[in-house]
Amino acid sequence: QMWLYGLCLVGGGLSLLYALSRWLIPALAQYNGSLALLWNDTILERALDLLTRSSRPQRMLAHVKRHAARGDPQSVIDAIDYFCRHKEWAMNVGDEKGTILDSVVCEVSPGAVLELGTYCGYSTMRIARLLAPGARLITLEFNPANAAVARQVIAWAGLEHKVQLVEGSSGDLIPQMREKFGIDSFDLVFLDHWKDWYLPDTRLMEELGLLHKGSVLLADNVICPGAPEYLAYVRSSPRYDSRYFKSHLEYTYVEDGLEKSVFPGASAGSRP
């Protein structure tokens, strides 16, 4: 009889664990930023990596190859959004904030764009598909495994001729933009790498003269996980006309948003 009780106890415990990880924690993580990042970006990702002996970017790429039409950027974007909403969360800008990114790209109609943080190429595709012929998009990624997946995702969408993906750290590559990449200045910069780099990289671009009158900085995740020093800088500096676009952390209901900052702004001060 003892072993029967033991079996019931183990079975009950396992069922509870399953219910917690399958429904309760994911449901709570939809509304709490810290839990969302801890659960999706740390615990679940590591557990799935271990169980499947693959990485999240590799799983996302496999999903794209199974479900997206080759040469159709929208189909690749949709496949990634489906994967992230129904299978595994991932740190793409996502569909909701993605529409804000799209509208800024269309409004600026940039000839030269810099993206900081490629990951799997999701936002890269969103930007690239809207660029006019001849416009340049340079995207920087310092994780070689992410860069390798991004190249394949971008090629699957048929956008490889519109994108220059450069492997390396933003701090090393930004100073090479003029001499090595022939860039005078950028019309649009999308900041979406590690959040504590937003401010130093912005200061670096300013010092190197890579921003011109009217250049637009668009920064993701300014609320969650947050980039407080960067936000304080662009909102208080008279050099920028800065505006917040309220939205949600990718694939959740947690508040997050994009900060659009025009350099040097027509009017001094900030508009949070």
Ligand X SMILES: C[S@@+](CC[C@H](N)C(=O)[O-])C[C@H]1O[C@@H](n2cnc3c(N)ncnc32)[C@H](O)[C@@H]1O
The footprint of ligand X (CB under 6 A) covers 91-93, 117, 119, 122-123, 140-143, 146, 169-170, 192-194, 197
Minimum Å distance from CB 30 to Mg ion? Answer: 17
Amino acid identity at 19:
A
Which tokens belong to 121? 């190429």
Please indicate whether residue 88 is annotated as part of the active site.
Answer: no
Which among 166, 168, 175 is positioned nearest to 209, based on CA atoms? 175
Nearer to ligand X, 163 or 241 (CB): 163
Nearer to Mg ion, 115 or 192 (CB): 192
Minimum Å distance from CB 12 to ligand X? Answer: 39
110 cis-preceded (ω within 30 degrees of 0): no
Distance CA 193, CA 99 (A): 19
Contact between 259 and Mg ion (CB under 5 A)?
no
Please indicate whether residue 241 is annotated as part of the active site.
Answer: no
Distance CA 106, CA 131 (A): 8
Judge contact between 211 and 241, C-beta under 8 A.
no
Which of 40, 118, 221, 242 is in the footprint of Mg ion by CB under 5 A? 221
Contact between 146 and Mg ion (CB under 5 A)?
no
Of 81, 201, 220, 241, the catalytic one is 220
Task: Tell me how far apart the 2 most distant CA atoms of the chain are, in Å.
Answer: 80
Distance CA 85, CA 20 (A): 18
- Which residue in this structure is represented by tokens 């504590």? 196
Nearer to ligand X, 153 or 262 (CB): 153
Residues 149-208 contacting Mg ion, CB under 5 A: 192
Residue nearest ligand X (C-beta atom) = 117
Helix 56-67 with 73-86: angle, nearest 10 deg = 130
Please indicate whether residue 220 is annotated as part of the active site.
Answer: yes
Please indicate whether residue 195 is annotated as part of the active site.
Answer: yes
Q: What 3-state class would DSSP assign to 211?
A: strand
Of 195, 201, 241, 256, the catalytic one is 195
Amino acid identity at 227:
A
Which of 115, 201, 220, 256 is in the footprint of Mg ion by CB under 5 A? 220
Nearer to Mg ion, 142 or 185 (CB): 142
C-beta neighbour count of 153 within 10 angstroms: 26
Choose from ligand X, Mg ion, none: what does 39 bind? Cβ within 5-8 Å by kind.
Answer: none
Please indicate whether residue 102 is annotated as part of the active site.
Answer: no
Task: Please state the φ and ψ torsions of residue 192, each to the nearest 5 degrees.
Answer: -150, 30
Choose from ligand X, Mg ion, none: what does 248 bind? Cβ within 5-8 Å by kind.
Answer: none
Minimum Å distance from CB 83 to Mg ion? Answer: 16
Specify the DSSP class assigned to residue 175.
Answer: G
Choose from Mg ion, ligand X, none: what does 152 bind? Cβ within 5-8 Å by kind.
Answer: none
Q: Which residues bind Mg ion (CB under 5 A)?
A: 192, 220-221
Provide the annotated active-site residues: 192, 195, 220-221, 250
